[in-house]
Structure 1
Amino acid sequence: MLVSASIPTDSAIHDLSVAHHAGRSLIACADEMGGVWTWSPSTGEWLARPLPYAHAGDPVVAEFPDAENSIDMLAALSVDGKLLLAAGGDEQEPALWDLGSGELRWRTPLNGAYLADVLALDDTFVTAQQYSEEVRLWSPDGTDAVLGEVGELSCLGGARLGDRRLILAGGSGVEVWDAATRTSIATFDPAEEQVWAVTACALTERTAIVAATEKGDLYAWDLGAGPDELLYEPVAASQGPLEAMAVMTVGGRPRVVTAGQDSLRLWDAVEGFKAGHVLTRGHDITAMESAVVDGRRALVTSGREGVLRIWDESDLAAR
């Protein structure tokens, strides 16, 4: 396991995003004061990324000259040699910055459609916006299109399964789109539970859509089957809400990873049984992402103590 030094602000890390830029991996992070940082796993260096306030030129905020970004969530992407960051928060609409120059490239209007979640998939950003309940696709130049609407939007997920790319949104239900055709291909309903995290993974002959709920349950459906056909009965994975979830292959089998109290918990994606846990004492997990980090598949987690951890398959082996 690789462990970072604490973020220099000595604060909690709210969100993270792994990007591949200039031949190495960088992890972009949002701290609890709305600041943005990047950390390099290869050098161990934290770098502050000061960003101009996205709405400084808007007449609505002209009377508040000291207004600052309120960034809770972010997604980073390297495009044409530039490291770009789409970000916003519970009280800020999404905007896009060039992290290298600090330039604000585009922003959405001040309209109360604050950010519920954001992700980077291929060369596109995807946002889920509150109140409007819209899932939008954004190109780096600011061109956008509405992908669809999901009631009470709360989270996004993206999956690369072979040549196929999926975009998932969770809220009062789960909606799945094919990223290439931008068409909705499935809708699932987790028995009136609010979905707080959603992902997908490839099984032997099927694709599993997995949702984590406000009550701590895991639901899993077969993408190719009917919307009411669960892969297995809902799993009581936590006594409280599940807000962070990822998929890792461990021991040759896909595992759904969730954050519990002082531990990571692993669930078999095919059958739903508990497949292990790893203690994380002192690392109260706030976000996680499964990604390729400097050439190897890993699970990246952030904690309230302001530290990043990078777990490989051997770190997550059943114990």
Structure 2
Amino acid sequence: MITSEPVPADSPIRDLSVVRHEGSSLIVCADRWGGVWTWSPSTGEWSGRSLPYAHAGDPIVAQFPDAENVIDMVAALSVDGKLLLAAGGDEQEPALWDLGSGELLWRTPLNGDYLADVIALDGRFVTAQQYSEEVRLWSPDGTDTLLDEVGQLSCLGKARAGGRDLILAGGSGAHVWDAANLTELGSFYPDEGRVRAVTACALAERTAIVAVTRKGELYAWALGAEPDESLYGPVPASDGALETVAVMMVGGRPLVVGPAHDSLRLWDPTEGTEIGHVNAHGHGITTMEPAIVDGRHVLVTSGGDGVLRIWEESDLAWAGAK
């Protein structure tokens, strides 16, 4: 495992995004106070990124000269040699900055459509906006495509499964699109509770859509099956709400990974059985992202301790062997 020093802001990390830029990996983070930082796994260096307030020129905020960015969610992109950041928060609309120069490239109108989540996807990014309940795919130049209006939006996800890249959104249900042609592939609904995190993985000849809910339950559905037919469950996965979930290959098979008190818990997505857990004492995991960091498939987690941890397969293998 690789760990960072605590973020210099002495703050918990709210969100992270992993990007490959100029030949090396960077992890971009938002701290609790809306600050943006980058950390290099190869050098161990943190760098603060100063960003102008996205809505400084808007007449609506002219009466608030001290207004600052409210950044809770981040998605980093490397496009044409530039390191870009799509970001916003649950009290701020999405905008795009050049992290190298600090320049604000564009912003969406100040209209109350705050961010529920944002993810990067092949040089573009996807937003889930709260009150419009819209999922949109954006190009760096600001042009966008509406994927759909989805009730009670709370989260986004991405995955490669079944030979294709998927865009996923969660809220009242779990919704799936083919990232190549933006075709909607299906929607699935838990018995109770709102979907707070969603991903997907390949299981034999089918694709499983995996979600966790506000009630702390784990669901899985087969893509292409009836929307009310789950593979199993629901599986009690936590005593409280789960806000993040991931899939990692461990020992040649996919395992669902979720945070618990001072640990990572692992489940077999085929049957919904718990495989084991890995100690994460003192980390207080807030978010996680499967990624390729300097050529290695890893899981990156951040937490209330302000530290980034990079977990390799060997860090999780003992639990998956049970």
- TM-score bracket, shorter-length normalisation: over 0.9
Deviation at 1:272, TM superposition (A): 1.0
Indicate conservation of the 8 Å contact 1:238/1:260, yes or no: yes
Alignment of 1:206 onto 2:184: no
Indicate the residue corresponding to 1:243 in structure 2: 243
CA distance in 2, matches of 1:111, 1:98: 23
SS at match of 1:225: coil
Indicate the residue corresponding to 1:72 in structure 2: 72
SS at match of 2:318: coil
Which segment is superposed worse, 47-56 or 220-229?
220-229
Q: TM-score when scaled to structure 2? A: 0.97
Matches within 5 A, 1:132-143: 132-143=132-143
CA distance in 2, matches of 1:162, 1:229: 19
Indicate the residue corresponding to 2:313 in structure 1: 313
Indicate the residue corresponding to 1:103 in structure 2: 103
Deviation at 1:5, TM superposition (A): 0.4
Indicate the residue corresponding to 1:195 in structure 2: 195
Q: Deviations over 1:196-220 (max 9, x none)?
A: 0000111111100001000000000
Q: Deviations over 1:163-220 (max 9, x none)?
A: 4111111001111111111121101011132000000111111100001000000000
CA distance in 1, matches of 2:123, 2:74: 15
Indicate conservation of the 8 Å contact 2:185/2:224, yes or no: no
Indicate the residue corresponding to 1:182 in structure 2: 182
Indicate the residue corresponding to 1:275 in structure 2: 275
Which segment is superposed worse, 300-309 or 185-194?
185-194
SS at match of 2:257: strand
Indicate the residue corresponding to 1:58 in structure 2: 58
Indicate conservation of the 8 Å contact 1:74/1:118, yes or no: yes
Aligned length: 319
Indicate the residue corresponding to 1:94 in structure 2: 94
Indicate the residue corresponding to 2:147 in structure 1: 147
Q: 1:162 to 1:84 in 2, by over 3 A?
A: farther
CA distance in 1, matches of 2:289, 2:149: 24
Q: TM-score when scaled to structure 1? A: 0.98
Q: Deviations over 1:121-158 (max 9, x none)?
A: 11210000001000011100011121101100000011
CA distance in 1, matches of 2:163, 2:251: 24
CA distance in 2, matches of 1:253, 1:271: 13
CA distance in 1, matches of 2:9, 2:175: 37
Alignment of 1:292 onto 2:263: no
SS at match of 1:232: strand
Amino acid at match of 1:170: G
Indicate conservation of the 8 Å contact 2:257/2:265, yes or no: yes
Deviation at 1:19, TM superposition (A): 0.3
Indicate conservation of the 8 Å contact 1:172/1:192, yes or no: no
Indicate conservation of the 8 Å contact 1:222/1:230, yes or no: yes
Amino acid at match of 1:47: S
SS at match of 2:20: strand
CA distance in 2, matches of 1:57, 1:24: 35
Matches within 5 A, 1:3-18: 3-18=3-18
Amino acid at match of 2:122: D
CA distance in 1, matches of 2:233, 2:26: 38
Indicate conservation of the 8 Å contact 1:51/1:104, yes or no: yes
Identical residues among aligned pairs (%): 73
Amino acid at match of 1:94: P
Indicate the residue corresponding to 2:44 in structure 1: 44
Q: Deviations over 1:27-46 (max 9, x none)?
A: 00000110000000000000
CA distance in 1, matches of 2:212, 2:233: 13
Deviation at 1:276, TM superposition (A): 1.2
CA distance in 1, matches of 2:189, 2:284: 30
Deviation at 1:278, TM superposition (A): 0.5
SS at match of 1:315: helix
SS at match of 1:231: strand
CA distance in 2, matches of 1:221, 1:123: 29
CA distance in 2, matches of 1:252, 1:135: 33
Indicate conservation of the 8 Å contact 2:73/2:89, yes or no: yes
Amino acid at match of 1:212: V
CA distance in 1, matches of 2:167, 2:278: 29
Amino acid at match of 1:207: T
SS at match of 1:60: helix
Amino acid at match of 1:98: D
Indicate conservation of the 8 Å contact 2:134/2:148, yes or no: yes
CA distance in 1, matches of 2:123, 2:205: 28
Deviation at 1:224, TM superposition (A): 2.2
CA distance in 2, matches of 1:100, 1:316: 35
CA distance in 2, matches of 1:279, 1:202: 27
SS at match of 2:231: coil
